[in-house]
């Protein structure tokens, strides 16, 4: 679906790098079909040397030549980017924003008729295991969105959601890696407490969580059923689960997602 498409990135940071790596690794396009804009010549030099993509300091040049234009910049600079590129973006260009909290309406008001797609990816896209949620603007048809979904699928999983759930996406999958890192860190400390070296403990903890997540995704079974498969009567796992329930770990995780969702809503109203 990306054959003969020109892909542009305004913003050459970690997100752009992850997407470029995923696109090229999956063989979706050739390096010659990718161009990147950034304010840092050093960063552009790194991307050009690493991926042999073309680079430029001129964001309007990228906007003019791209069939799919990724805006991979921080939310605090997105308004300036929109103002700069809006006069030159064609109605055939698909504009994809990963700027948290910036609504489709903010783009559509300055780029009427242009297909806009808002995406919330999370940081594991850097290792090809991200979770991305896409919300489609008024002019972003299925035919328009499928190539974009293909790009994000190259760095993990992708789902399409209504834009009004984007704050919830931020609270769950966007902020979710932070919760997972807390769990891994806590399990690592537990491993050290029961006698392992920290290096061994972090490996045991991280691989265990990764394996459990993979079982959920690949078997399609409910997590509770998989838990029941581990918890034999009177055994060690059910004893541990009992302690987690006594200490409100499940409720704490639910509360964390709700609090992060509400915080995302607050930030979006600024």
Tens-digit pLDDT profile for residues 184-201: 999 999 999 999 999 999
- 101 among annotated binding-site residues: no
80 has binding-site annotation = no
12 known member of a binding site: yes
85-121 pLDDT, tens digit each: 999 999 999 999 999 888 999 999 999 999 999 999 9
Burial 153-177 (b: 16+ CB within 10 A, else e): ebbbebebeebeebbbbbbbbbbbe
Q: What's the rounded Cα separation, in Å, for the pair 124 and 159?
A: 15
Mutual angle of helices 198-219 and 176-193, in 10-degree steps? 130
The whole-number average pLDDT for the span 161-190 is 97
Mean pLDDT score, 136-142: 94
pLDDT of residue 203: 98
Q: Which two tokens stand for residue 198?
A: 């920290």
The domain spans of the chain are 7-164, 174-268
- Residue 14 in marked binding region: yes
As a whole-number percent, the residues of the chain with pLDDT over 90 amount to 93
Q: Is 248 annotated as a binding residue?
A: no
Let me know the angle formed at the C-alpha of 24 by 22 and 26, rounded to the nearest 5 degrees: 65
SS3 percent helix, strand, coil of the chain, rounded to 5, is 60, 15, 25
User: If we measure between CA atoms, which residue out of 85, 94, 5, 16 comes closest to residue 55?
Assistant: 16
- Residue 200 to residue 133: CA distance in whole angstroms: 34
Q: What is the pLDDT of residue 270?
A: 64
DSSP 8: E
How far lies 45's CA from each of 14, 25, 38, 57, 219, in Å?
Answer: 14, 20, 10, 11, 43
- What is the CATH superfamily name and number for domain 174-268? ProC C-terminal domain-like (1.10.3730.10)
Output the average pLDDT for the chain: 95
pLDDT of residue 153: 97
Can you give the pLDDT at residue 100?
86
Q: Is the pLDDT of residue 268 over 80?
A: no
Give bridge partners of residue 131 from the DSSP assignment.
157
* Cα–Cα distances in angstroms (integers) from residue 228 to residues 144, 187, 220, 222, in the given order: 43, 20, 15, 10
> DSSP letter string over 68-119?
EEEE-S-GGGHHHHHHHHGGG--TTSEEEE--TT--HHHHHTTSTT--EEEE
Q: Is residue 124 pLDDT above 90, yes or no?
A: yes
**Residue 62 annotated as binding site:** no
Arch. (CATH architecture) of 7-164:
3-Layer(aba) Sandwich (3.40)
């Amino acid at each position: 679906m990306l054959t003969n498409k020109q892909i542009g990135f305004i913003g050459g940071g970690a997100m752009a790098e992850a997407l470029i790596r995923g696109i090229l690794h999956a063989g979706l396009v050739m390096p010659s079909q990718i161009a990147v804009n950034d304010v840092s010549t050093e960063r552009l030099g790194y991307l050009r040397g690493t991926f042999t993509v073309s680079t430029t300091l001129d964001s309007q040049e990228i906007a003019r030549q791209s069939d799919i234009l990724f805006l991979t910049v921080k939310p605090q600079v997105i308004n300036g980017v929109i103002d700069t590129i809006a006069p030159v973006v064609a109605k055939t260009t698909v504009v994809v924003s990963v700027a948290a909290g910036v609504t489709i309406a903010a783009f559509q008001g300055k780029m009427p008729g242009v297909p806009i797609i808002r995406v919330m990816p999370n940081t594991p896209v850097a290792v090809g295991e991200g979770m991305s949620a896409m919300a489609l603007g008024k002019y972003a048809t299925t035919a328009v969105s499928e190539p974009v979904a293909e790009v994000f699928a190259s760095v993990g999983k992708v789902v399409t959601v209504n834009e009004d759930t984007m704050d919830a996406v931020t609270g769950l999958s966007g902020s979710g890696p932070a919760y997972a890192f807390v769990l891994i860190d806590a399990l690592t400390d537990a491993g050290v407490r029961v006698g392992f070296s920290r290096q061994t403990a972090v490996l045991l903890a991280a691989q265990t969580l990764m394996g459990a997540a993979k079982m959920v995704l690949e078997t399609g079974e409910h997590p509770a059923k998989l838990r029941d498969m581990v918890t034999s009567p009177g055994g060690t796992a059910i004893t541990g689960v009992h302690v987690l329930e006594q200490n409100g770990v499940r409720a704490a995780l639910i509360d964390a997602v709700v609090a992060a969702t509400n915080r995302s809503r607050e930030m979006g109203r600024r």
